[in-house]
Amino acid sequence: MTYTHEAGTLHAEAGHRRRPPWLQVPDDVNALVPILWPATVNRGDDGVVRIAGIDVQALAAEFGTPAYVVDELDFRSRARAFRDAFTGAFGEAEVFYAGKAFLCTEVARWVASEGLGLDVCSGGELATALRAGFPAERIGLHGNNKSVAELSRALDAGVGRIIVDSFDEISRLTTLAAERDVRARVMIRTTVGVEAHTHEYIATAHEDQKFGFSIAGGAAAQAVRRILAEPSLELIGLHSHIGSQIYDTSGFEVAARRVLGLQAEIRDEHGIELPELDLGGGFGIAYTSQDDPQPPEELAAGMAVIVEHECAAYGLSVPRLSIEPGRAIVGPSTFTLYEVGTVKAVELDGGAVRRYVSVDGGMTDNIRTALYDADYSCTLASRRSDAEAVLARVVGKHCESGDIIVKDEFLPADVGPGDLIAVPGTGAYCRSMASTYNHVPRPPVIAVRDGAARVIMRRETEDDLLALDVG
Ligand SMILES: Cc1ncc(COP(=O)(O)O)c(C=O)c1O
Ligand SMILES: N[C@@H](CCCC[NH3+])C(=O)O
């Protein structure tokens, strides 16, 4: 590499000016920003990052890299915090962990033992929950295109609620429930027409998208009529999910107002008040030092005020509330550990230099940067460094120039092959959205707790990949 220290300093200064406005030059490039990491993460006296008392060198030596490392007690305490905050604020409330964020049988058991329900949205997630022995009556099934097989399995297992999303599904479910001589407990997924302040691909309550029945267009009221007329369906409530990675409670306020407006119309037309109300998930987490998410107690207190106020305005009693957080429970509990393979100093216009730090994973284990332009942070985890902080981009090993994990971060200038990099906040929608592009096997999930580490989802192997190839 032709990057001299002297030139590096000059270039680094130019690089500082090329950083995105939110990215601060760190006073100490070794410091860990607490909001981004599980509480048990710290840098030991030897400079190595530890989680639950285990250093990342030991984790890499035993389990290899890349690997997702999840702090079990952190996950459990976030799950409990949501449960306690919402039962505290509403008296009675239910928290369904959204398994799409990350699910395996062990995590399903953590969720069950913390007293939460589970939101699944496919046959595969349902199968995982059932294999874990998750109580079926505490499972909710979502999906805009549930198959006959998925609905049948849900009915046979006795899931507690099916959130219906289309008129076709209502017909399908009516037939399947009648054939089994059961009464399916259903909620209606409504579209409330809210433009949530998040990336357009993860907003789900504006009118022009695939989910739900529109309240404004009258489809939701029509779905209520259809379901109430079917003896094999029991309508237990209305559901709204406005999107994901949302910090601003104003979207929930509008959603609650519109859904409860429908609840009032139902009372006026049919003489009933539906007993349950689900306001979905979507609570944002910190991915960088600039993010400042609300803690569950504040969210719960804010939502209680909103729901009580709207119910009072419509003269309704407060329904039993449920929510479906996924990201906010599992996201911050996990980091991904990578090993650096190559480093390039790339000269940009104006003489600035950006360090391209290539690691042994990439867009197959974290597609969020490429898909949503998401921001992440990272740290040199295997040692402390006294080198200056330089602007770096952490990239993967795949055949795409968009294969970026961390777009912009300050890393020590001496980061090089063999170093370990940890990227926090990767518990949600990373392993669950992982792919095998370029035939790169998917990383394992390692759970740590009280100084012990174990595999809860093993690393995929080349044999796993080739097992599907029957040619
Ligand atoms: C219906 C539903 N509920 C819950 C969630 C969980 O969202 P999050 O992980 O952002 O809390 C999602 C995903 O956006 C969803 O579609
Ligand atoms: N997968 C998305 C969120 C969508 C969640 C499901 N509706 C993310 O990574 O942020």
Q: Which ligand sits closest to the CA of 252?
A: 1
Q: Which domains does the chain have, with CATH numbers?
A: 5-71+332-467 (2.40.37.10), 142-325 (3.20.20.10)
Nearest ligand atom owner, CA of 121:
1
Handedness of CA 164, 166, 171, 175 (dihedral sign): negative
The whole-angstrom distance between residue 241's C-alpha and the CA centroid of its chain comes to 14
Q: Is 282 annotated as belonging to a binding site?
A: yes
Question: What is the reported pLDDT for 7?
Answer: 41
DSSP state, 243? B
Distance (angstroms) between ligand 1 centre and the Cα of 281 equals 5
281 touches ligand 1 (CB under 6 Å):
yes
Rounded CA-CA distance 86/89 in Å is 5
pLDDT of amino acid 387: 97
326 is in an annotated binding site: yes
Instruction: Report the predicted TM-score, pTM, of the whole model to 2 decimal places.
Output: 0.95
Q: Is the ipTM of this complex over 0.90?
A: yes
Per-residue model confidence (pLDDT) at position 19: 84
Regions of the chain where pLDDT drops below 70: 1-17, 196-202, 204-205
Q: What is the pLDDT of residues 341-376, one digit of tens each?
A: 999 999 888 788 899 999 999 999 999 999 999 999
Q: Tell me whether residue 399 is one of the annotated catalytic residues.
A: yes
The answer for 418, left when phi > 0, alpha when psi is -120 to 50, beta otherwise, is left
Bridge partners of 69, per DSSP, are 335, 446
pLDDT digits (tens, 9 = 90+) for 387-425: 999 999 999 999 999 999 999 999 999 999 999 999 999
> How many A from CA of 3 to the centre of ligand 1?
45
C-beta separation of 69 from 38 below 8 A: no
Ligand 2 centroid, distance to 202 Cα (angstroms): 6
| pLDDT in the model for residue 350 | 79
